[in-house]
Amino acid sequence: MFRFHASFAITFASILVTSSTFAASPPSGISACCQSLSRKLSGKCFFPSDSQFQSQLASYYSAQESALISACRVAPTTAHETSVALQILTSGDCPFSVRSGGHMIWPGAANIDGSGITIDLSSLSSISISSDKSVASVQPGARAASVYDALAAENLTIVAGRSQTVGVGGYLLGGGISNLSPQHGLANDNIVNYEIVLADGSIVEANSTSHSDLFSALKAGGTNFGIITRYDVHTYPLNPMWGGFRFYNISQQAAILNAQKGYMVKIRKDPIGGISGLNYGFMAGVEYMLLDFAYLGADGSKTDLFADLLAIPFIDSTIRTNVNQQNLSAEIDAAFPPGIRSEWATMSFQADTQLVLDISAKAKQLFSPLNGQDLSWSILMQTIAIPLLKASAAQNNPQNIAPGNKDVFLFSVNTYWSEKADDIAVNKATQALMKFATDTAKSRGLSNRWIYANYALSDQDVYGSYGSQTVSKLKSIKAKYDSHNVLGKLWRGGFKL
Ligand SMILES: Cc1cc2nc3c(=O)[nH]c(=O)nc-3n(C[C@H](O)[C@H](O)[C@H](O)COP(=O)(O)OP(=O)(O)OC[C@H]3O[C@@H](n4cnc5c(N)ncnc54)[C@H](O)[C@@H]3O)c2cc1C
Ligand SMILES: *[C@@H]1O[C@H](CO)[C@@H](O)[C@H](O)[C@H]1NC(C)=O
Ligand SMILES: *[C@@H]1O[C@H](CO)[C@@H](O)[C@H](O)[C@H]1NC(C)=O
Ligand SMILES: *[C@@H]1O[C@H](CO)[C@@H](O)[C@H](O)[C@H]1NC(C)=O
Ligand SMILES: *[C@@H]1O[C@H](CO)[C@@H](O)[C@H](O)[C@H]1NC(C)=O
């Protein structure tokens, strides 16, 4: 089997010990907010020396995010406590951030340094199913694995992540790409109701009949409208799955890309195929290429959908029948391991083989000088085919993924390294690659404007990618629900309108 980067094993202990942000004592206003949180939410506010604080920190995905030591962390267990926490922070004028599963990559997305406070929703994690079993209610701190497990007991599933460690809070907020997406659109197209704590601390339900403007805005909501304390989502029957990874010689790249394009045409007739993603890069200096397969049926190899892809010679394979989401996501999580420095950036463009080959060559040229023990990098092409676009458009998703209604590749560049000293060089290469990809797609008439919030780097114009009409609509809805822009002023992290 394939071997992953040796330095993936480095521990959080070393990160915490070497952190320099530990020592500074917080500004007095912040300390007052922490004191007030400790008093009003007794036993739920933690300070840097508390073990709960440390374990919450250690469960972020990227090492840079784990290195931010906020003045205190408050972990509400109910919507009411979330509201109490938010009111303390807004009345004390204390900057804050909000975290669910902690998987957004960039530092500060869901954490903050000593100049603020982190609201950690990991204890707000219950999962329940309606009596008619058509709706699952999931709280944001639940990880995908526990949702899958709870629903599997009822032979049900939801449109959720392909990584079982991802938190549902951020995933559903940003959109959500799932193996069920070709059938049912983005995960957030399947939300029927949100419970949300607004800027003034009130708790409301937003759905198609109550606060319907807010309901639609939240599908592109980011960290602008409030803290979501419950998502009610459609359930679907659980079926046996088929899937896994295949590893290839790099010489097969063009053949795979062509077959991926063919698969995107075939999936229009058979949308129970998952999202296929071609990952190409260097891990510990070794060039590799893998494609992931998923089919929500007994045996994808017996269908025409994957026939061309499966005919391509491969080096190794984990594809098998009788798997579930948890089995497939365990493989994804091993390929994208937590706990080290990482940075992702993303864009999308029309599915085109030559463009990807050119971007691959450019990536190799830019990242090669940094190859070696300490940098693993890859570029990932995920298929966003017309059935997904249609399912999402049917729900009027404001993200408006592909205005041109063409099959697109969701492109991302994913980097993993261990030394802080390399942060700038890695970022420079990423930025240069993104510029190349953007310019080249544009010059060939292959652009697609969607920038996926859940993979984007902090400086990417996620909202701009939804189009100016959508942005002005979202802004007017925000003005209604947060008229003094309290959240805009105090809530750090995520993407802002
Ligand atoms: C290994 C790995 C695999 C992944 N696989 C997939 C995949 O298959 N499909 C996919 O679409 N994405 C995938 N992602 C991306 C993932 O969707 C995002 O990282 C997502 O934001 C993670 O959600 P979280 O709750 O874990 O993150 P967090 O970092 O906790 O939150 C992300 C953002 O949302 C905000 N937020 C979180 N909870 C709330 C809330 N309740 N109310 C308001 N704001 C909130 C935070 O402030 C933050 O800005 C993957 C990421 C990783 C690292
Ligand atoms: C789930 O499906 C299995 C296999 O078909 C069946 O044996 C079991 O009773 C079902 N469980 C529930 C809760 O419906
Ligand atoms: C929508 O919100 C209203 C008001 O809270 C509630 O009565 C209704 O049940 C909600 N609808 C859904 C689908 O959750
Ligand atoms: C990949 O293929 C090339 C030429 O087709 C061959 O030279 C090389 O050894 C192969 N690499 C692996 C790892 O099989
Ligand atoms: C799949 O995961 C289940 C638990 O969800 C586990 O019992 C089973 O052994 C796994 N199967 C494979 C093939 O990995």
Q: State the Cα–Cα distance between residues 216 and 212, nearest whole angstrom.
A: 6
Q: State the Cα–Cα distance between residues 332 and 88, nearest whole angstrom.
A: 39
pLDDT the model gives residue 404? 82
- CA-based Rg of the chain, rounded to a whole angstrom? 22
* Alpha carbon nearest to ligand 2 atom 13, residue: 154
Q: Which atom of ligand 1 is nearest to the CA of 162?
A: 8
pLDDT the model gives residue 5? 37
Half-sphere exposure of 484 (CA within 13 A, CB side): 8
In this predicted model, what pLDDT tens digit does every residue of 90-107 receive, in sequence order? 999 999 999 999 999 999
Q: What is the mean pLDDT of the chain?
A: 94
Q: Collect all residues with Cβ–Cβ distance below 8 Å to 14 and sequence separation of at least 6.
A: none
Instruction: Give the pairing type, strands 277-283 and 236-237.
Output: unpaired
Q: State the Cα–Cα distance between residues 410 and 277, nearest whole angstrom.
A: 9
Spacing, Cα 398 to ligand 3 middle (Å): 21
Q: Which residues pair with 97 in a beta bridge?
A: 118
Q: Which atom of ligand 2 is nearest to the CA of 153?
A: 13
Spacing, Cα 236 to ligand 1 middle (Å): 22
Q: Please indicate whether residue 141, judged by its CB atom, sits closer than 6 Å to ligand 1.
A: no
Q: State the Cα–Cα distance between residues 494 and 240, nearest whole angstrom.
A: 36
Q: Please indicate whether residue 146, judged by its CB atom, sits closer than 6 Å to ligand 5.
A: no
Spacing, Cα 327 to ligand 5 middle (Å): 6
- Percent of the chain residues topping a pLDDT of 90: 91
In the chain, what is the straight-line distance between the N-terminal and C-terminal CA atoms, in Å? 45
Spacing, Cα 89 to ligand 4 middle (Å): 59
Spacing, Cα 242 to ligand 5 middle (Å): 12
Spacing, Cα 328 to ligand 2 middle (Å): 21
In this predicted model, what pLDDT tens digit does every residue of 305-320 receive, in sequence order? 999 999 999 999 999 9
What's the mean pLDDT in 257-280?
96
pLDDT of residue 1 exceeding 60, the answer is: no
- Percent of the chain residues topping a pLDDT of 70: 95
pLDDT of residue 19 exceeding 70, the answer is: no
Name the range with the highest mean pLDDT among 5-9, 190-194, 332-336: 190-194
User: Ligand 4 pocket: which of 2, 246, 249 to mutate (most atoms <8 Å of CB)?
Assistant: 249
Query: Band of the pLDDT at 24, cuts 50, 70, 90?
Result: low
* Alpha carbon nearest to ligand 4 atom 3, residue: 251
Is the four-CA dihedral 325, 415, 429, 173 of positive or negative sign? positive
Q: Collect all residues with Cβ–Cβ distance below 8 Å to 40 and sequence separation of at least 6.
A: 84, 88
CA distances from 292 to 28, 105, 365, 487 (A): 51, 22, 25, 39
pLDDT the model gives residue 335? 87
Q: Please indicate whether residue 177, judged by its CB atom, sits closer than 6 Å to ligand 1.
A: yes
Q: Please indicate whether residue 249, judged by its CB atom, sits closer than 6 Å to ligand 4.
A: yes
Q: Can you read off the two tokens belonging to residue 352?
A: 């085109």
* Alpha carbon nearest to ligand 2 atom 4, residue: 155
Q: Please indicate whether residue 326, judged by its CB atom, sits closer than 6 Å to ligand 5.
A: yes
What's the mean pLDDT in 122-136?
98
Query: Band of the pLDDT at 173, cuts 50, 70, 90?
Result: very high
Q: Please indicate whether residue 454, judged by its CB atom, sits closer than 6 Å to ligand 1.
A: yes
* Alpha carbon nearest to ligand 4 atom 5, residue: 251
pLDDT of residue 321 exceeding 50, the answer is: yes
Query: Band of the pLDDT at 444, cuts 50, 70, 90?
Result: very high
pLDDT the model gives residue 14? 36
Q: Please indicate whether residue 240, judged by its CB atom, sits closer than 6 Å to ligand 2.
A: no
Spacing, Cα 155 to ligand 2 middle (Å): 6
Using alpha carbons, select from 24, 46, 12, 19 the residue that is nearest to residue 114.
Answer: 24
Q: Which residue is associated with the tokens 């652009």?
A: 447
In this predicted model, what pLDDT tens digit does every residue of 375-434 receive, in sequence order? 999 999 999 999 999 999 999 999 999 888 899 999 999 999 999 999 999 999 999 999
* Alpha carbon nearest to ligand 4 atom 4, residue: 251
What's the mean pLDDT in 341-357?
98
Instruction: Give the pairing type, strands 96-99 and 236-237.
Output: unpaired
User: Ligand 3 pocket: which of 193, 196, 202, 235 to mutate (most atoms <8 Å of CB)?
Assistant: 193
Query: Band of the pLDDT at 9, cuts 50, 70, 90?
Result: very low
What's the mean pLDDT in 236-243?
96
Q: Please indicate whether residue 240, judged by its CB atom, sits closer than 6 Å to ligand 5.
A: no
Q: Please indicate whether residue 151, judged by its CB atom, sits closer than 6 Å to ligand 5.
A: no
Q: State the Cα–Cα distance between residues 246 and 259, nearest whole angstrom.
A: 14
pLDDT the model gives residue 403? 81
Q: Please indicate whether residue 336, judged by its CB atom, sits closer than 6 Å to ligand 1.
A: yes
Q: Which atom of ligand 5 is nearest to the CA of 327?
A: 1
What's the mean pLDDT in 230-259?
97
Which 3 state secondary structure label does DSSP give 112? coil
Q: Please indicate whether residue 323, judged by its CB atom, sits closer than 6 Å to ligand 5.
A: yes
* Alpha carbon nearest to ligand 1 atom 21, residue: 170
Half-sphere exposure of 167 (CA within 13 A, CB side): 29
pLDDT the model gives residue 458? 97
Which 3 state secondary structure label does DSSP give 345? strand
Task: Give the closest ligand to the alpha carbon of residue 330.
Answer: 5
In terms of pLDDT, which residue wins out, 404 or 64? 64
Spacing, Cα 187 to ligand 1 middle (Å): 12
